């Protein structure tokens, strides 16, 4: 087997270890590759910046532990922005694990922003029933979530006063994989403007909604979260991983290039040998 | 290095899962795999239990007798585990499917079909608009026209196929981005929280 | 028996489907109440039935693994681990979340954060390794279609990583254009097709033509 053939058949374990090491190095020794902020993230920031103190927003947390490393940083960064502005946040989720991440974000930021649970923020918990559940929730929020994630009665909470349905909130911020459902069952029914954070893989499928204006603005994956961390002046875990993201993409491109070069040179050599 | 026993448990579990890609089917991998399935399943159950208590049981105790009906419909789903009464599970399932279908009929037209067609009604005054309009039409021709692909249809369909390849390429790039982010999350826990090597 | 086995479930599906469709048409009165009010009540029913449905898969899982342990089939030890973990966490979770007993509430959070969450994240992250190796082996510019996909994929990868911009400022611009225009066209066409498909399937289900959800129970 010559060099070009070998280039096409590198052992998978070598690939795995190379990827692992390439990603680990920039986490240990940051490279400081400059990160610029894209228009999408600025649009998202502007939407939230335009909210007024005392306004209320819904935040749907529709992600599990499987994709949390990609989008949870966005939850925290957006919550920071909302709490900084004095906007009330009512969290919920139609994926069972989502509200757990909401509670983590509340616990992380509670002292920093002197949050009063039930007044500044509430976690309404999990809403069963997938798309039908979201519709039920949007139509009558208090009846769908009589008790919150911490099992307190929601109708007595200051943040829930005057709330009937999703139209009583200025905006819905969807994080994770639920944006399409939010467009279908909240925006289309109640007209509540939608924005949010999508996983990178989900971004392509949701982009027609951004193009049509059904989603006002959207951050894409960890990169989007990193950009938002920069916008709120709190560079944190997402920004710290951007060097690794860069090297990870490069190493995959190099492997694809190696496979293609090996393939074409071998093919060329074979056809020359036949002639 | 962390002294928190919970961080150690998390790290051993993480290493157990990672061991699966280098040495398939080892004891540690299979154990953590089963632990994960058990925990995830339990999480669903106790979350649903809380919903049942708050939405069904508590109002029922307060006198909302009508809620007996959805409770029975819900319970009917479990008759599928019996041979004799398995057919009763269709009642609860039929209810959920009926609601889901009713909502899907509304959403598919009002949230997807009409807004997306409307958004694509663009004036052909820029190259981007031309690509969007012709792109959508050519892909529809490629996908949905069940006529023989020859002549003009063949050429339009070919453009549609190229447009789809561009779409798949963009999707691939984004999927790679996502998976790398997840790997970085795992490494951050191991190198940072556990070994304390990250600044 | 056909009435109980076939007709009633079909009627339930038909009625609930029609009520939800008509509710979106406008305000319709039924005696002293409106369809909208009826839907408000049905919404709560949906949440209750859906909550019940969430346990079905777990009962099935318990049955399968319980039988494996009972008959001492190969790998029954792992099944025992699964059952013990499941029942234990169910109890801890119920006491911690529904009844808010502080010790169990903390324990639920700790188990989620330090066991369930890292295991799930790592399992999903492993796909990253597989994507890398399969891209290396299968992503070849063999024909025009493959080349278009390959070039688009690489441009997006470079455009989405900060290093792409450091190499050439045009990468993010190209990547954004690919997302904005060709991707939107492709995804929009898929969405239009999917919407028509979803509507047709829903209509067939509500009218009882499509009965796949009823399974094969006799």
Per residue in C97-138, pLDDT (tens digit) is 999 999 999 999 999 999 999 999 999 998 888 888 888 888
Cβ distance A209 to A215 under 8 Å? yes
Task: Please report the ipTM that was assigned to this predicted complex.
Answer: 0.91
First to last CA, chain C: 10
A178-217 pLDDT, tens digit each:
999 999 999 999 999 999 999 999 999 999 999 999 999 9
Q: What does the domain layout of chain A look like in residue ranges?
A: 3-30+243-274, 39-234
Inter-chain CB proximity A211 and C184 less than 8 Å:
yes
- Is the separation of the CB atoms in B170 and C183 below 8 Å? yes
At C216 the pLDDT is 66
In-domain check, residue C192:
yes
Strands (E), chain A: 56-62, 88-93, 121-126, 171-176, 194-198, 217-220
Any domain includes C42: no
Alpha-carbon distances of C33 from A136, A137, B10, C30, C38, rounded to whole Å: 19, 21, 55, 5, 7
- Interface B-C, measured as beta-carbon pairs within 8 A, has a size of 401
Q: What is the topology classification, in CATH, of domain A39-234?
A: Rossmann fold (3.40.50)
**Domains of chain C: total:** 1
Beta bridge partners of C158: none
Position B69 in a domain: no
Distance (Å) from the alpha carbon of B75 to chain C's nearest alpha carbon: 7
B-chain residues near C203 (CB < 8 A): 101, 105
d(CA C181, CA B131): 7
CB B105 within 8 A of CB A132: no
Contact C217 B52 (CB under 8 A): no
Q: Is residue C166 part of a domain?
A: yes
* A5–C contact, CB cutoff 8 A: no
Chain C 116-175, residues with CB within 8 Å of chain B CB atoms: 116-129, 131, 135, 139, 144-146, 148-157, 159-161, 175
A143-165, pLDDT tens digit by residue? 999 999 999 999 999 999 999 99
User: What tokens were used for A35?
Assistant: 């990160």
Q: Is residue B189 part of a domain?
A: yes
* Inter-residue contact A218 to A179 (CB < 8 Å): yes
Tokens of C93: 């979770």
C173 part of a folded domain: yes
pLDDT band at A1 (very low <50, low <70, confident <90, very high): low
Region A71-97: mean pLDDT is 97
Note whether residue C14 is domain-resident. Answer: no
- For tokens 């529904």, the residue is C98
Interface check for B163 against chain C (CB to CB < 8 A): the answer is yes
Give the bridge partners for A123, in sequence order.
Answer: A91
Cite the DSSP H helix spans in B62-151. Answer: 68-76, 89-107, 114-119, 127-144
Determine the distance in angstroms separating the CA of A57 from the nearest CA of chain C, rounded to an integer. Answer: 22
DSSP 8-state assignment for residue A190: H
Rounded to 10 degrees, the C-alpha dihedral C114/C116/C120/C121 comes to: -20
Q: What Å distances lie between residue B52 and A96, B59, C49, C54, CA to CA?
A: 14, 10, 9, 11
Q: Which of A143, A151, A256 sits opposite C136 (nearest CB)?
A: A256
pLDDT in tens, A2-47: 777 778 788 888 898 999 999 999 999 999 899 999 999 999 999 9
Nearest-by-CA chain A residue for C114: A65
Q: Is A6 on the interface with C (CB under 8 A)?
A: no
pLDDT tens for C148-200 read 999 999 999 999 999 999 999 999 999 999 999 999 999 999 999 999 999 99
How far, in Å, CA of A82 to CA of A100, rounded? 19
- Decide if B184 and A28 are in contact by the 8 Å CB cutoff: no
Q: Which domain holds residue C168?
A: 139-204
Examine residue B56 and state whether it is found in any structural domain, yes or no. no
Residue B173 falls within a domain, yes or no? yes
User: Does the residue B92 lie in any domain?
Assistant: no
Binary contact (C156, B37; C-beta < 8 A) = no
The reply to whether B178 touches chain A by the CB within 8 Å rule is: yes
Q: pLDDT tens, B93-111?
A: 999 999 999 999 999 999 9
CA distances from C181 to A30, A196, A252 (A): 35, 21, 25
Tokens of B166: 């561009």
Structural domain tally of chain B?
A: 1
Q: Helix A12-28 crosses helix B152-187 at what angle (to 10 degrees)?
A: 60
Instruction: Flag if C129 and A19 touch (Cβ within 8 Å).
Output: yes
Q: What angle do CA A56, C105, B48 make, to 5 degrees?
A: 70
Range of the domain at B160: 120-199
**Interhelix angle B27-52/C117-138, nearest 10 degrees:** 120
pTM beyond 0.90: yes
């Amino acid at each position: 087997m010559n060099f070009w053939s070998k280039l096409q058949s590198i052992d998978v374990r070598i690939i795995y270890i190379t990827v692992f090491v390439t990603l680990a190095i920039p986490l240990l020794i940051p490279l400081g590759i400059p990160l610029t902020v894209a228009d999408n993230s600025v649009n998202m920031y502007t939407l939230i910046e335009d909210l007024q103190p005392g306004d209320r927003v819904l935040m749907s947390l529709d992600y599990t532990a499987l994709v949390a490393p990609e989008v949870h940083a966005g939850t925290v960064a957006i919550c920071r922005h909302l709490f900084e502005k004095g906007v009330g946040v009512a969290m919920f989720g139609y994926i069972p694990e989502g509200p757990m991440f909401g509670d983590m974000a509340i616990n992380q930021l509670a002292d920093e922003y002197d949050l009063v649970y039930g007044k500044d923020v509430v976690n309404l918990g999990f809403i069963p029933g997938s798309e039908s559940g979201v519709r039920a929730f949007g139509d009558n929020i208090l009846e769908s979530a009589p008790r919150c994630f911490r099992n307190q009665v929601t109708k007595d909470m200051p943040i829930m006063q005057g709330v009937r349905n999703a139209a009583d909130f200025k905006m819905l911020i969807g994080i994770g994989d639920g944006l399409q459902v939010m467009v279908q069952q909240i925006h289309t029914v109640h007209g509540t403007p939608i924005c949010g954070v999508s996983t990178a893989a989900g971004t392509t499928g949701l982009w027609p909604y951004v193009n049509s204006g059904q989603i006002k603005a959207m951050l894409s994956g960890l990169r989007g979260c990193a950009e938002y961390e920069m916008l709120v002046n709190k560079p944190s875990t997402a920004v710290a991983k951007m060097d690794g993201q860069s090297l990870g993409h490069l190493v995959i491109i190099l492997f694809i290039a190696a496979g293609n070069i090996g393939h074409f040179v071998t093919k060329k050599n074979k056809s020359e040998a036949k002639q | 290095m962390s002294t928190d026993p919970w961080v150690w448990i998390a790290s051993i579990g993480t290493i157990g899962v990672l061991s699966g890609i280098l040495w398939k089917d080892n004891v540690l991998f299979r154990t953590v795999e089963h632990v994960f399935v058990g925990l995830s399943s339990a999480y669903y159950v106790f979350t649903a239990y809380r919903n049942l208590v708050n939405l069904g049981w508590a109002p029922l105790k307060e006198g909302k007798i009508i809620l007996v009906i959805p409770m029975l419909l819900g319970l009917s789903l479990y008759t599928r585990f019996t041979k004799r009464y398995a057919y009763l599970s269709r009642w609860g399932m039929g209810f959920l499917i009926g609601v889901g279908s009713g909502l899907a009929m509304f959403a598919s037209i009002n949230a997807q079909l009409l807004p997306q067609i409307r958004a694509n009604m663009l004036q052909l005054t820029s190259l981007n608009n031309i690509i969007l309009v012709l792109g959508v039409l050519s892909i529809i021709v490629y996908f949905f026209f069940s006529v023989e692909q020859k002549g003009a249809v063949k050429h339009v369909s070919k453009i549609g196929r190229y447009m789809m390849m561009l779409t798949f390429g963009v999707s691939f790039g984004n999927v790679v981005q996502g998976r790398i982010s997840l790997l970085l999350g795992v490494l951050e826990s191991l190198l940072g929280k556990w070994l304390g090597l990250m600044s | 028996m056909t009435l109980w086995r076939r007709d009633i479930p079909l009627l339930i599906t038909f009625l609930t489907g029609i009520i939800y469709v008509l509710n979106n048409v406008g305000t319709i009165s039924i005696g002293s109440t409106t369809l909208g009010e009826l839907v408000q009540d049905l919404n709560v029913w949906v949440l209750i039935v859906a909550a019940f449905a969430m346990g079905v898969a777990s009962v099935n899982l318990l049955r399968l693994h319980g039988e494996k342990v009972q008959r001492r089939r190969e790998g029954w030890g792992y099944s025992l681990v699964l059952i013990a973990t499941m029942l234990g966490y169910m109890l801890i979770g119920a006491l911690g979340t529904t009844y808010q007993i502080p010790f169990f509430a903390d324990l639920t959070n700790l188990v989620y954060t330090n066991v369930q969450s890292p295991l799930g994240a790592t399992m999903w992250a492993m796909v990253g390794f597989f994507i890398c190796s399969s891209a290396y082996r299968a992503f070849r510019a063999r024909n025009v279609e493959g080349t278009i996909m390959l070039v688009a994929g690489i441009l997006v990868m470079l455009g989405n990583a900060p290093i792409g911009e450091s190499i050439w400022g045009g990468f993010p611009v190209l990547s954004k254009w690919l997302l904005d225009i060709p991707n939107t066209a492709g995804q929009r066409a898929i969405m239009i097709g999917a919407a028509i498909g979803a509507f047709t399937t829903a209509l067939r289900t509500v009218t009882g033509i499509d009965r796949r959800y009823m399974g094969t129970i006799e």
